[in-house]
Chains A and B, each alone.
Chain A
Amino acid sequence: MGEEEGLHQTPLLDTMFVRGLKRKCFDGEEDIEGTLAGIKAIPSYNLQRQSLLDMSLVKLQLCHMLVEPNLCRSVLIANTVRQIQEEMTQDGTWQMINTQSTGQTSLDRLVSTDILCRSSREQAEGKQVPGYSSFNKDFEDDQTQDSSETMSTSSSVQTPRNLQSNVWEMENPQESRGNFQKSLDQIFETLENKNPNSVEDLFSEVDNSYYDLDTMLTGMMSNTKMGHCDGLETFSSPTTATSNSNCKSDLNELDHIVEILVES
């Protein structure tokens, strides 16, 4: 299969399997295990495709904040993301992921990519990558439909669109400023574990390898040879959801903060 050829990257993806994604798949639904029992190739392809999707989304979010991102590269990556999601929708695997009870692990992944996105400078300025926050909202909409939080659901087809629009809007001079503020608002509204306190906690637990990954993926890859992916291996072992345990208290704090914002 052409897809198999294109994705068959033993050094990188095998390590990813070992570290985290394989675990996630098996931790997932029991009902698909039976069907997959005899067909070893299929979970492998799905996992590879999923990791490609994850990688692509990370690439789109890790934009240089100082210099405009390369539009051609962004378009090509976004098209790849759309292709994968279309195929997953056709496969039915997109639905499978939605109904998985892995809301927690999905949040883990979201949390870890958030760490990758935010440099300490951005955090200090309160800036946010606009596309990423929108991605959070949409992605979480698909993942945690049983969540008690009120969130508007969006279809999987919309996800790439919203993602794209925010990426492109970075190029739009009039809207880019507004996007930053909008994204900031979204952060406070939608994700309960994104108030400043828990983010501080997250940062305190993160070791420097995340920042190395950030610089690595944002283009300073002069020392990276093919197949040598130490940085990306840390990607597959995200910080466990310490923040999730603080959800309830964070919720109260968030209410408090929103109150303050609304009053001001």
Chain B
Amino acid sequence: MIPLSFFTCGVHGGNDESKNEPYSQGEYNVYSTFQSHEPEFDYLKSLEIEEKINKIKWLPQQNAAHSLLSTNDKTIKLWKITERDKRPEGYNLKDEEGKLKDLSTVTSLQVPVLKPMDLMVEVTPRRIFANGHTYHVNSISVNSDCETYMSADDLRINLWHLAITDRSFNIVDIKPANMEDLTEVITASEFHPHHCNLFVYSSSKGSLRLCDMRASALCDKHSKLYEEPEDPSNRSFFSEIISSVSDVKFSHSGRYMLTRDYLTVKVWDLNMETKPVETYQVHDYLRSKLCSLYENDCIFDKFECAWNGSDSVIMTGAYNNFFRMFDRNTKRDVTLEASRESSKPRAILKPRRVCVGGKRRKDDISVDSLDFTKKILHTAWHPTENIIAIAATNNLYIFQDKVNSEMH
């Protein structure tokens, strides 16, 4: 569903940078840069709308061009990316610079020929979907029908048609009649990869709701509610905050969902609503530090998660530029670091370890030395190959598994 050869990342400047695909030796050249959104000012509320891009989603490729959706807090835009690497030369009526020729100098006719030229990437905005959201857009998801997509903000989810910008349908609305009663918001949402009528959305209380658009126009009643009962032994004032789901992703098979909350990633079977089938600890050593993390707001960081193409490995980011991978079959996990120092071209990434007191090995990092400003919130896995993209502050890292380049 995702174009195979491109990765994108959004940065605060509102730029989209697409990096070309692999097998180049070390550092990648920037493929294209463009300004997706500009800062705006909402005069009614006297508030600035940041140009910061929250989410990017590629559309399935249907012709030579690539399309993607990018969104800031309020406006979603559809971009078309085309390449040009040939140009016609030898016009009859125009000269090389495009000026009209003096017809009296034209003595013979020629057929223009296509000559190669330096690759030129053109990015054009095709649609702007504005004024659909009162609250901040946190996710967008393209439907498997390739015609519609949905955008979710804190309280509502809208369904759009890719060709229509002046209308959207509201399919979920959890805004209470009295805002004083608000205790839960929408945190992420995604369409099912195969069933175009199904979608899931997650909440700040850690629950998932699977909705069927065939059931009713406004999907306020979920078809299924996925919620794990709270563990009473781990109860604290921070229990709710750390249970808030920051990302939800369907598996490629469509059978499972992956969720990320502050300390864990969980795999849910669509057929089982009572609890996840698998839970993996991302950084449980932070459980005793929650008060400090609450104080410095790190507890509100929203990490993404990703499946590999065969749904056998899941990945998510953490602090100190660490990211974690969990193999669902072997139950083994690894912690790797994305940083300039440890990632020379073609160097093999060394597994890292965080020690929590007790025995400390040579290269271990202690919990108190972790850098909480270096957080890996965005990660993506190539849909068919073992190539991953990791966004760390202002850098994009692309890693590949040379040994196992085929997915299995």
Are the CB atoms of B235 and A3 closer together than 8 Å?
yes
22 CB contacts below 8 A, A to B, read: A2-B236, A3-B236, A11-B292, A55-B295, A68-B47, A68-B73, A70-B136, A70-B300, A72-B154, A73-B297, A75-B183, A164-B179, A168-B182, A169-B179, A171-B134, A172-B179, A173-B42, A221-B297, A221-B373, A223-B373, A225-B373, A226-B293
Q: Chain B residues near A2: list those with CB within 8 A.
A: 232-236, 239
Q: Which of A75, A164, A226 contacts B289 (CB 8 A)?
A: A226
- Bits for A149-165, please: 1 = Cβ < 8 Å to B, else 0: 00000000000011011
Alpha-carbon distance A67/B47, docked complex (angstroms)? 5
Chain B residues positioned under 8 Å from A227 (CB to CB) = 292, 368
Find out whether the CB atom of A80 lies under 8 angstroms from the CB atom of B235: no
CB-CB nearest in chain B for A53: B237
Nearest residue in A to B138 (C-beta to C-beta)? A72
Q: Please give 20 more A-B residue pairs, beta carbons under 8 A apart, in addition to A52-B237, A75-B184.
A: A2-B233, A7-B236, A7-B237, A9-B295, A13-B291, A67-B47, A71-B136, A75-B183, A75-B204, A78-B183, A164-B182, A168-B179, A169-B179, A171-B179, A219-B297, A221-B373, A225-B371, A226-B370, A226-B372, A227-B368
Q: Which one of B49, B138, B183, B236 contacts A6 once the chains associate, using CB atoms below 8 Å?
A: B236
Instruction: Name the B residues within 8 Å of A55 (CB-CB).
Output: 294-295
Bound state CA distance, A3 and B232, in angstroms?
11
Is the CB of B180 closer than 8 A to any CB of chain A? yes
Docked pose: A154 CA to B204 CA in angstroms? 29
Q: Is the pair B182, A75 in contact by a Cβ cutoff of 8 Å?
A: yes
Tell me the residues in window 173-227 of chain B with beta carbons closer than 8 Å to chain A beta carbons. Answer: 179-180, 182-185, 187, 204
B238 within 8 A of A: yes
Nearest-neighbor residue (CB-CB) of B243 within chain A: A76
The chain B residues found within 8 Å of chain A, CB to CB, are 42, 44-50, 73, 134-136, 138, 154-155, 179-180, 182-185, 187, 204, 232-241, 244, 287-298, 300, 368, 370-373
Task: Tell me, in angstroms, the Cα distance from A41 to B195 when the chains sit together.
Answer: 55
In the bound complex, CA of A49 to CA of B46 (Å): 36
Query: Would B291 and A52 count as touching, CB distance under 8 A?
Result: yes
Known: A173-B45, A226-B370. A79 touches B240 (CB 8 A): yes
Q: How far is the CB of B263 from chain A (nearest CB, A)?
A: 12
A84 lies within 8 A of chain B by Cβ: yes
Complex CA distance for A83 and B134, rounded to whole angstroms: 28
Nearest chain A CB to B81's CB is how many angstroms away? 30
The proximity string for A residues 186-209 relative to B, scoring 1 for CB distances below 8 Å and 0 otherwise, is 000000000000000000000000
Whether A12 and B180, one on each chain, are in contact in the complex, defined by CB atoms closer than 8 angstroms, is no
**Chain B residue contacts of A124, Cβ below 8 A:** none
Interface residues of A in 1-53 (CB under 8 A from B): 2-3, 5-9, 11-13, 48-49, 52
Indicate whether A66 reaches chain B with its CB closer than 8 angstroms: yes
Considering the chains assembled together, what is the distance between the CA atoms of A221 and B301 in angstroms? 13
B292 x A6 contact (CB < 8 A): no
A229 at the interface (CB under 8 A from B): yes
Q: A80-B241, A225-B371 are in contact. Are A12 and B185 (CB under 8 A)?
A: no
Interface size class of A (residues with CB under 8 A): 35 or more
**Which A residues are in CB contact (< 8 Å) with B185?**
71-72, 75
A6–B289 Cα distance when bound, in Å, is 7
A13 to B184: give the CA distance in the assembly, Å: 29
User: Which chain A residue lies CB-closest to B393?
Assistant: A222
Check A215 for interface membership: any CB of B closer than 8 A: no
Partner of B135, one of A171, A176, A221: A171
Contact call A72/B238, Cβ cutoff below 8 A:
no
Scan A212-244; emit 1 where CB is below 8 A from any B CB, else 0: 000000010111111101001000000000000
Q: Within the complex, what minimum Cβ distance (angstroms) separates B362 from chain A?
A: 23
Are B237 and A80 closer than 8 Å at their CB atoms?
yes
Q: Interface on A for B, CB 8 Å cutoff?
A: 2-3, 5-9, 11-13, 48-49, 52, 55, 59, 66-68, 70-73, 75-76, 78-80, 83-84, 161-162, 164-165, 168-169, 171-173, 176-177, 219, 221-227, 229, 232
| Set of chain A residues within 8 Å of B288, measured between Cβ atoms | 5, 8
| Residue of A2, A164, A165, A177 contacting most chain B CB atoms (<10 Å) | A2
Complex Cα spacing A223 to B371, Å = 9
Kindly list the 10 A-B residue pairs having the minimum CB-CB distance in the complex, ordered from nearest: A6-B236, A168-B179, A9-B291, A2-B235, A165-B180, A71-B154, A173-B44, A226-B292, A73-B300, A76-B241
Q: How far is the CA of A211 from the CA of B288 in the complex (A)?
A: 30
Report the Cα distance A225→B374, complex, angstroms. 11
**How far is A162 from B178 in the complex, measured between Cα atoms in Å?**
12
Instruction: Check B232 against A12 for contact (C-beta < 8 Å).
Output: no
Q: Which chain B residue shows the least CB distance to A169?
A: B179
Give the residue among A3, A12, A162, A171 with the most B Cβ atoms within 10 A.
A171
The residue that A76 contacts in the complex, of B240, B287, B368, with Cβ under 8 A, is: B240
Distance in angstroms between the alpha carbons of A209 and B167 in the assembled complex: 50
Cβ B154 vs Cβ A224 within 8 A: no
A232 CB to closest chain B CB, in angstroms? Answer: 7
A229 to B292, CA, bound (A): 9
Residue of B nearest to A229 (CB): B295
A80 contacts across to B, CB distance below 8 A: 237-238, 240-241
Residues of A within 8 A of B42 (CB): 173
Decide if B373 touches A79 in the complex (CB within 8 Å).
no
Query: What's the nearest-Cβ distance from chain A to residue B13, in Å?
Result: 16
Rounded to whole angstroms, the CA-CA distance of A2 and B287 in the bound complex is 11
* Closest chain A CB from B176 CB (angstroms): 9
